[in-house]
Structures are given as C-alpha cells and as structure tokens.
Chain A
Amino acid sequence: MSKAAELAALIANVNKGSSLAAKNFIQNGSFQVWQRATAATAQTDGDYKTADRWFGWVSGGGAYTTEKSTGHLADTGHENALKVAVTTADTSIASGDYYAITHRIEAQNLQSLQYGSANAKPVTLSFWVKATKTGINTLSLTKDDSTAIRMVKEFTINSSNTWEYKTMTFIPDSSIKTAASAIVNDTGRGFQLNWVLKYGSTYDGTADAWTTSSHFTTSNGVNNMDSTSNTFYLTGVQLEIGEKATAFEHEPYDTTLKKASRYYTEIARADNNTCHLVGYVQATTVARFGFDVSMRTSPTITETNFGILYSTGSEQAVTGVADITQDSQFVSFKLTTAANLNVGEAVVLYANGAATLTFDAEI
C-alpha cells in the first residue's frame, strides 16, 4: 500500500470513529509476549498454553501444538508469529469436532463500537497468515455479550507455506443495531475471534451473514488438521474501527506486557530464592500480592514448589490456596500449610526447587 493510500485509509477510518492511537482492539497481535511458554506445547481444549491472550480449542481425534516462531520480520513486519503444528492428524472430522485458535476481547474495551445502537460501527480485521493447506479457510467473529451473534468470513490461502496478508470487514446490520446486541460495559467477554483449523458440520453456516446460530465456519473450509505435515502461522493481527485495514499499530514490549498482565501473570523463582511476597499468619498464612495492573477479576491460582519460611528459619511446604479475592490494588489469598505457624508472625515465600505462582484472570 502506498503512503497516500495508507493515509486515505486512515482518514476514512477516523471519519468512521476510529482513533489515531490505540486503534487495535487485539492484544499481543504481534506475538511479542509469551509468559507461559515459548516452546511447542500441546494444546488442550479451551486453555491458554503459550502466547499471551491467545488460546486454542481441541475436540476430536486430532491434536496440535502451539509455539513461538521467529524470523518473520522481513516477510511480515513482525519478528514473531504463533505457530500451530498438527501432531495427530484427524482426517475424518466428526460433526461435533472443533479445532481453532481464539482471541477474546474484554467487553468494556469495545464500547466505542456503539453496538446496540443505530450508530454501530464497522470493524476491519487484518492479519498475516502462512499455512500448508491451500484453499478456503474461515474465521468467525462472535459478539458474546447480551444476545450472542456472530459472522463467519472466508479467506483463501493461495500458496502453500507462504506468508499472505488478509483483510476483512464486519459491517453491522439491523440485528447488531438493536438494543439486544449491546455490549455491556463490564469486564466480561465482548468479542471472540476464531481462526478455524477445522470444525465439524454441526457448526457450518453461511459466510458474511450475522447469525445467532452456533455457526463458526462454512462447509467450504479446508481441513488444516488432516496431516502431521500441516502448519498454520499467524501474526500481525489487528482489529480496528472502520472499513479499511491500516498499518499495524506496533507498541513497546512493556505496553503489551502490561495489557496482558491484566489477564495473566506469573512469579517464577529459582531454587532457594525468596519471593518478594510478605504475609502474616492467622490460622493460615495470608498473602497479599500487589500488581502494577489490576487483574480483570479474582484470578485462578496455581502454585508449584513454594514453601513458607518463618522466624525460626524453618520452612513449611504450601499445601493449598484458599480465599482468593481481588480488590483495586491487590490479589489476596490464604496459603495453607501442613502445620499451623505462629499467629502474628511475618513470613516470606521460599522456593523449594523451580517455583512458580500463576494468576489467571483470562476471559
């Protein structure tokens, strides 16, 4: 795209209500942040495994991994990409099977779209994709709040294992402009975008039409899961107001990390290191952990290999986590130990081996 065309597209979108900054509703669309893992990790159904803010669906006889892939700067303008590699092929997709890569957007971040009103705005999705399978692929955009409504789009992979840039626009129709389609101004799920690897026939619908049915694809979609030689790469994902795709909005790493940390953060400590978490002891040890960014909701916590070091220099292994709450600045929780400690005593967390605490408030 020439600079003149780029400027024209930008102006056109601004006239539709877009902004010149913070225009991308997608978080970590350039796949810069990988707090959980970067190496190939088996995808399980509905779980976040590698790239922040991105997760996968797996239901059927097939399996795939996701991982960080690098070296794509010259081709796409993005050094990193999400790589999907099929590890168990599914050549016979049952009607209810599904495989997809998904991104969810918090509802209160989408208020500028004015869904549920006559002024509902169009959005344009752009992304780079590289896939082994050529032919028609599909993705769906679901507006989850209030009445769930979605639209399927088809796009074509023209050349095998070659980066291609795709854009598509979602125009609100009368169903989006009714009050029932409003996106509630809260911390819930606003949008869900599904890049379909393959869905069963139960989920087949019609492209380019808003529907309240559970249609996430069309029958035209190729089966990206049919061989262990298949890969599917994605990067440079942007969703913006307007009917034109504009240049990707790059942002500093720390900006993306801070955005992602609203949904997931983890503390890792090597063996024999203390964690900068200080608690005190009632019947159980109370820990209050402050974050730079408030989490979206009270998080699910996992704990591995931490103990509690107390005044005698002794240590009690953590055996569980309870009473998890979130306020504006802190996540508070109680750590249970095999034996009670002394009431009123200050304690610190201590790593017995490679120790991790994770806080998951994903949508």
Chain B
Amino acid sequence: MNITEAKYTAKDSGKSIKIIVDGNTMYVPLVEGNRHYDEIQRQVKAGTLTIKDAD
C-alpha cells in the first residue's frame, strides 16, 4: 500500500490518522484489525513511514 503521508488529526489524544494513499485522503481509526491501521503500524515499525503530529 502506497502511503505517502500520515498525520494525526488531533493533538489531545489519538483521534484518527489522516493518510494519503495514491493521492486519496483517508481517515483511519486507531484500531487493530483495521487493515489501514495495521499497514500503518507495519510501515512505521519497518521505518518506512512516520506519523506526523497534529497541527
């Protein structure tokens, strides 16, 4: 999955992660078992993706 950007949507706690996949914007819940969240975690662990802090 080609995730080109990942960013938390809010500062106070993990709300959701906004990701860009092949140019499309998606909002991913912080829930294991959601395939996008699992892929984000896999890529973060592999060092190929960093989740940016919320604005």
Contact = CB atoms under 8 A, between A and B. Distances in A.
Q: How extensive is the interface on chain A, given as a class?
A: 20 to 34
A299 B29 contact: yes
B9 A322 contact: yes
A297 B1 contact: no
A322 B35 CA distance: 17
Q: How extensive is the interface on chain B, given as a class?
A: 20 to 34
Interface string A322-363: 111110000001101000000000000000000000001111
A323 B1 contact: no
A276 B1 CA distance: 32
A302 B20 CA distance: 11
A321 B25 CA distance: 10
A298 B31 contact: yes
B33 A323 contact: no
B44 interface: no
Contacts, number: 68
Contacts of B1: 45-47
A301 interface: yes
Contact of B16 (A45, A324, A360, A363): A324
B2 interface: yes
A175 interface: no
Interface of B: 1-2, 9-10, 15-16, 18, 21-22, 24-29, 31, 33-37, 39
Interface of A: 44-47, 187-188, 296-303, 320-326, 333-334, 336, 360-363
Given A300-B37, A301-B26, A360-B26, 18 more contacts: A44-B2, A44-B22, A47-B21, A297-B34, A298-B29, A300-B26, A300-B27, A300-B36, A302-B26, A302-B27, A320-B9, A320-B18, A321-B9, A321-B16, A321-B27, A322-B10, A324-B28, A333-B27
6 contacts: A47-B22, A300-B26, A302-B25, A321-B9, A323-B15, A362-B35
